[in-house]
Structure formats: C-alpha cells, structure tokens
Amino acid sequence: MSFNISELSGRKGLERNLFEELGKAAKETGAVSVADSDRLAEEFLLGKANVYGSATFYDFTREENRGKKVYVCTGSACLCAGTQGELKTKLEGQFEAGEIGSMYCLGRCHENKAFFYNGKNYSGNAINQIKEIVDDQKTVTDHYHVAHHGTAILTESFTDVDSYYALLKECLKKNPEELLSELSVSGLRGRGGAGFPSAFKMDSCRKTASKIKFVVCNADEGDPGAYSDRYLLEQRPHSVLLGMMLAGYIIGAQWGVVYIRGEYPESIAIVEAAIQELHSKNLLGDHILGSDFSFQFKVIHAQGAYICGEETALLSSIEGQRPEVRVRPPYPAQVGLFNKPTIVNNVETLACIPWILKHGGAAFASVGRGKSTGTKLVSLDSFFNRPGIYEVDMGTPLRYVIDELGQGFKSDIKAMHIGGPLGGLVPVSKIDSLSVDFESFQQGGFLLGHASVVCIPQSFPLMHYLEHLFEFTAHESCGKCFPCRLGSTRGAEMFHKAIHEDYKIDKKLLNDLLETMEIGSLCALGGGLPLPVKNALMYFEEELREWIA
C-alpha cells in the first residue's frame, strides 16, 4: 500500500471515489480505456501508472473483459456439478463466442447452471428461457430452502423497520463501553473464516484517537459454495445495517461502508433500497434520534476480485489502489481506510450484533460450544436432496446437518470442500468426527471458514479439482508476494502437466511448494491453499497415486 495515496484518496472522500469512477468508466464497454485512466489520474492527483494498475486488476474493468455480454459461473460448485458445458453451448445460440466471459461464483450453488446477463444473475432452469431473457428482459428469480436448528438468531422473522430499529434508540441511551462489554461477554468471533474475537477488534479501534473512523462490511463473499452472506444481504439487510450502525456507535465511527461483490447485483440493489428506507425514516444523518450520534452509509460496487475478501486488500480497493494485501502491523483498527481507524467485519458477524445487544451477551454465549458461541449459517450445494441455507447452533454434529437438514446426498460423494477454496477437503469418512464449530474443524485438520459445502462426487477426478484450486489461486492472487503469485502458477502447471502428459509429480517437490506457500504468503490466499491439497494427499493417496510419485 501507499500511505500517500491513501491520504490523497481520503481527501476526495467516499462520496466520489476513484474505485467507483473506474467501474463507471468500464460500464459501457467492459474495460477502462487509456484515455479514461489518464483522465482519472489527473482528477485524483495520482500517477497514471497507479490508476492503470488498478484498472487492469479487476475482472470487470480489465481489457480482457471488453465486449463481454454474458458470463458463465466457473466456481467450484458449478464445476463439480458438471452443468456449465451444456449451459455455455446454449448461450452460444444467443451470443458470439467472444461475448461470453466467466465469473468465479454467483452464489447460485444450490441449483448451478449459473450465468450473469445484463446486470442480473440466473441459474437452474433459467437457461431454457434464454431467448425471453435476451429479447424481453425477462427476470427469473431463484429460490432455496432456509431453516434453522436450535436458536434462530440470523433467520428469525423480520417485523418492520420501526420495530426493529427501536433497539437503536435504546442503545443510544447507553454508553459505548456498556455495549462493548455485552459483545465481549457474547464471545462473538468473526464468521468470515479467521474466527477473531470481534469485541477485541472494536475495543482496539475505539481506543485509537481520531476524529474520523469507519465501519466496513466485507460483503465480498467470494468463496465458491458460499451464499450465506447473499442470504443476509437480500433477505435480512437490516440486520447487517443495524449491526454496522451499532458498531459505529461503539467505536465512534461516522461512516459505514458496505463493499458488495459485483457478482451479487441483486444484493446491491436490495441493500441500497434498505438504506433509502432508513433515510426516509430519519434514521441516518446527523444527530440520529436526537442523540450525538451521526452516521451515513456508502455502498461500494465491487468489480470482481476474490482477494478483496482479505480486509487490507479491500481497503486498498476502496481507495482506488491496486488491491494488494498490506503488511501488518499496522492493523486496520489503527490505520485502515484512508489511514483512519477502521474495523472490517464480514456480513454474518455484523448481523449478529443486534441480537446480542437486544438479548444480552450472556444469552448469545449460552448458545454454541466452548469458545464457538452463537450460531453459524451453513450453505449446502446442489448435491444435497434439500440444498439451502441452514442456521445451526455452534457444536451441531455435521452428520445432523447433512442427513437431517440437507436430507442426505443425491448421489455418491467422496469428499466435501468446506469453508471455501482455502478450506479443508473433508472425506465422507470424517463426517461423524466433526461438529460445526471452529475448534472441531481445527482439531480435525480442516477449516470451518464460511461453512460453505461443495460436494465432490465419486465421478469427479480429484486431480482435476486440485488443478482447479491452483488455477483459481493463480487467477485471484494480488501478486504482491512471490510464494502465492509464483507458487500457485507453478502448482497449476504441475498438475496440468501430470493430467495431460506422461509426467508424475514428485511428492517432495510438491510438499516443498506447499510449505513455501503456507509459510511465506502474506495472507490466507496463498497460505490457505495448501490445506485442501494436503488433505487430498492424506486421504486420497490411492486415487492420486497414478499422477503423484
């Protein structure tokens, strides 16, 4: 990162920022022209190379995107389902080959056959209506099952804005330290993957002196197989927004930034509408409800980059910088967006806050198991008889989630990739030894992460899946550190060569590569990829023996 660029970008502020302007410049053609890049560099007082570097990074602004009209999902869930080849063939009946691009996950893992067209997502049987979609702008919505087992915290019924935000009025009568104490008692941990204690992060930010602070919602849910954040943004947006406002009051922030991935256009529209509703009820702005608390929201439309799910890369992205991972310390709680104290939390984490402050930290802590308190949303893909979003108490047996909530598998499954592309590859033989909580997965040598479940059927070669993971990482790497940038590319080449040529991968060489990525990478993208590969080598040695010496 550049502290100077952060400062320059901060002078322009949030209401008109460079990142958004790059997105607007690419909207018509799919890429930012050199002329637009130079114009923005002059307007924002930045070097041309800096702006060009940002413009050419994202999937939806880089030159390779120019002229694309429709995008096929190539995420892990759609890949394993084997639906995308036929989907692309049908799209070719309406579009030229050069007009068809790809996206890594559209959050339609429950029914696959996912594609993006004209600012909207489609999946399932929608492809059979492609002519009406193109000619008549027909919209086809998706549906998935939502249920809970145990305590309904995130899936509880929403009443109305006035009733729901009565909690805000009550909280504004209390001092921030009192509310922070409740969060600390709750034991709430980050639901995005790391499981970091949320109250500790807020307390650190609250104690950092600054007139300007930010609350940033990381809604860049890029893990293939995950659509729990999408569920909250589209069906429970006020849980997220109120959670951000309460967090803002606790740390002394004036702005809430909701960074929503471009692959979720419906989420963007719904959250923006919810914010307008708050404005209409005078619940945003200066001196909210007659208090000293002032707060505004800014929705950022992301432009397609998995690495922006990493908090420091996300902050650089908002500033208009190339979204490279920052070296820590300093941490965002002290030096974050525009060099100001910032807390970054994912959607599910923030959505828990209203329930905690309404019912008390002890009530939340009483749900779950050990240090994994509260509930967790689990995303089940199309290989389940009843795919959907399920909220379960932490500590719920994985077997119960699969057999009772998901009603079992539709076909023979050999493994589940749980927690996104950097999560553990769980063989079905391990189901009975795991429960849905951080400790159980860590002790088992896996990672809970987003608790997204991508099933790998018996018929899908694991070698092809591992090649896909390396290719995904190589494509999404920010490029800042060598172990991730080079290691993922070498790994993809190695697996491709083994699959398509008379070549066996040397296991020692592969282990050296994995160790280098795990130890040397700056963030969890390069550092996390070795986990599923190691799981595969441990549990599927017999299947991989043909390609790995």
Positive or negative: CA dihedral 36, 37, 38, 44:
positive
- Polymer length in residues for the chain: 549
Considering the domain architecture, whether residues 388 and 509 belong to the same structural domain is answered as: no
Measured between alpha carbons, how far is residue 279 from residues 154, 169, 260, 285, 299 in Å?
A: 24, 16, 20, 8, 14
Examine the fold and report which residue of 33, 65, 97 is the final residue of a domain before the chain moves on: 65
pLDDT of residue 194: 72
Tokens at residue 139, please?
Answer: 């919209």
pLDDT at 300 exceeding the cut of 60:
yes
How far apart are alpha carbons 126 and 143 in whole angstroms?
Answer: 12
Kindly state the average pLDDT of the residues 544-549: 94
CA dihedral sign of residues 128, 123, 402, 530: positive
Token reading at 468:
């896909």
pLDDT of 205: 97
Judge if 97 and 137 occupy the same domain: yes
User: Do residues 376 and 480 share a domain?
Assistant: no
- Residue matched to tokens 């400790």: 439
- Average pLDDT across the chain, whole number: 95
Span 525-533, average pLDDT = 96
Is there a single domain that holds both residue 340 and residue 196? yes
The pLDDT of residue 3 = 74
| pLDDT tens, position by position, 147-164 | 999 999 999 999 999 999
Mean pLDDT confidence for 324-343: 95
How far is the C-alpha of 74 from the C-alpha of 222, rounded, in Å? Answer: 12
Dihedral (CA of 529, 230, 184, 243) sign: positive
Share of the chain above pLDDT 70, in %: 100
Q: Are 456 and 413 in contact (CB under 8 A)?
A: yes
Confidence of residue 489 (pLDDT cuts 50, 70, 90): very high
Q: Is the pLDDT of residue 1 over 70?
A: no
Residue 89 · residue 115 · CB < 8 Å: no
For residue 444, give the 3-state DSSP assignment.
Answer: coil
Q: Could you say which of 11, 33, 65 is where a domain stops? A: 65
pLDDT reported for residue 542: 96
Report yes or no on 152 lying in a domain.
no
pLDDT of residue 500: 96
Same domain, 185 and 302: yes
Instruction: Decide if pLDDT at 6 tops 90.
Output: no
Alpha helices in 56-172 (DSSP H): 76-81, 84-91, 130-136, 161-164, 166-171
Structure tokens at 502: 């008379």
Which pLDDT does position 14 carry in this prediction?
A: 87
On whether both 9 and 110 belong to a single domain, the answer is: no
Cα–Cα distance measured from residue 529 to residue 525, given in angstroms and rounded to the nearest whole number: 6
Nearest to 212 by CA among 164, 258, 254: 254
DSSP 205: H
pLDDT digits (tens, 9 = 90+) for 78-114: 999 999 999 999 999 999 999 999 998 999 999 999 9
Domain range holding 104?
A: 70-143
Question: Span 225-235, mean pLDDT?
Answer: 97
What's the pLDDT band for 494 if we cut at 50, 70, 90?
very high
- Helix axis angle for 347-359 and 237-251, nearest 10°, is 70
Whether the CB-CB separation of 76 and 107 falls below 8 Å is answered with no
Q: Let me know: does 217 contact 244? Beta carbons within 8 Å.
A: yes
Q: Distance between CA atoms of 317 and 93, rounded to whole angstroms?
A: 37
Per residue in 44-83, pLDDT (tens digit) is: 888 999 999 999 999 999 999 999 999 999 999 999 999 9
- How large a percentage of the chain has pLDDT more than 90? 93
Sign of the CA dihedral running 535, 538, 544, 549: positive
CA distance 214 to 87: 42
Residue 238 lies in a domain: yes
**Residue 13 pLDDT grade (very low, low, confident, very high; cuts 50, 70, 90):** confident
Give the integer Cα–Cα distance in Å for 102 and 70.
Answer: 8
DSSP E strands in 234-354: the ranges are 255-260, 296-301, 342-346
- Report the pLDDT averaged over residues 393-410: 98
**Residue 180 and residue 239 in one domain:** yes
User: What backbone torsions phi and psi does residue 37 show, to the nearest 5 degrees?
Assistant: -60, -45
Distance of alpha carbon 177 from alpha carbon 172, whole angstroms:
12
For residue 150, being part of any structural domain is answered with: no
Asked if residue 182 has pLDDT above 70, the reply is yes
* Residues 164, 299 within the same domain: yes
Distance CA 258, CA 245 (A): 12
Q: What is the pLDDT of residue 195?
A: 81
Are 213 and 340 in contact by the 8 Å Cβ rule? The answer is: yes
CATH number assigned to the domain comprising residue 449: 3.10.20.600
Indicate whether 357 belongs to any domain. Answer: yes
Q: Are residues 314 and 336 both part of a single domain? A: yes
The predicted structure's pLDDT at residue 45: 87
Q: For residue 156, what pLDDT is reported?
A: 96
- Domain assignment present for residue 410? The answer is no
Query: Based on the domain organization, do 49 and 131 belong to the same domain?
Result: no
| Single-letter residue type at 451 | A
| For residue 526, pLDDT beyond 60 | yes
Question: What band does 193 get if pLDDT is binned at 50, 70 and 90?
Answer: confident
Domain boundary at 453, 482, 512, which? 453
**Across 289-316, average pLDDT:** 96
Same domain, 501 and 353: no
Q: Are residues 305 and 105 in contact, defined by beta-carbon separation less than 8 angstroms?
A: no
Distance, in Å, from the CA atom of 372 to the CA atom of 443, rounded to the nearest integer, reads 13
Please check whether residue 549 lies inside any domain of the structure.
Answer: no
Assign residue 501 the CATH number of its domain.
Answer: 1.20.1440.230
Whether 536 has a pLDDT exceeding 60, the answer reads: yes
What's the total number of domains in the chain?
5
**Cβ count near 540 (within 10 Å):** 18
Q: What is the dihedral of CA 322, 323, 324, 330, to 10 degrees?
A: 110
426 forms beta bridges with 416
Q: If you write DSSP's letter for every residue of 34-81 in order, what string do you get?
A: HHHHHHHHHHTT--HHHHHHHHTTSTTTSGGGTT--EEEE--HHHHHH
Where do runs of H (alpha helix) occur along 286-389? 311-318, 347-359, 361-365
pLDDT at 461 over 90: yes
| Residue 166 in domain | yes
Res 210: pLDDT: 96
Mean pLDDT across 382-409: 98
Residue 330 sits in a domain of what CATH number? 3.40.50.11540
**187 belongs to a structural domain:** yes
**pLDDT on residue 549:** 86
The yes-or-no verdict on residue 12 having pLDDT over 80 is: no
Q: Are residues 428 and 473 in the same domain?
A: no
Mean pLDDT on 486-512: 97
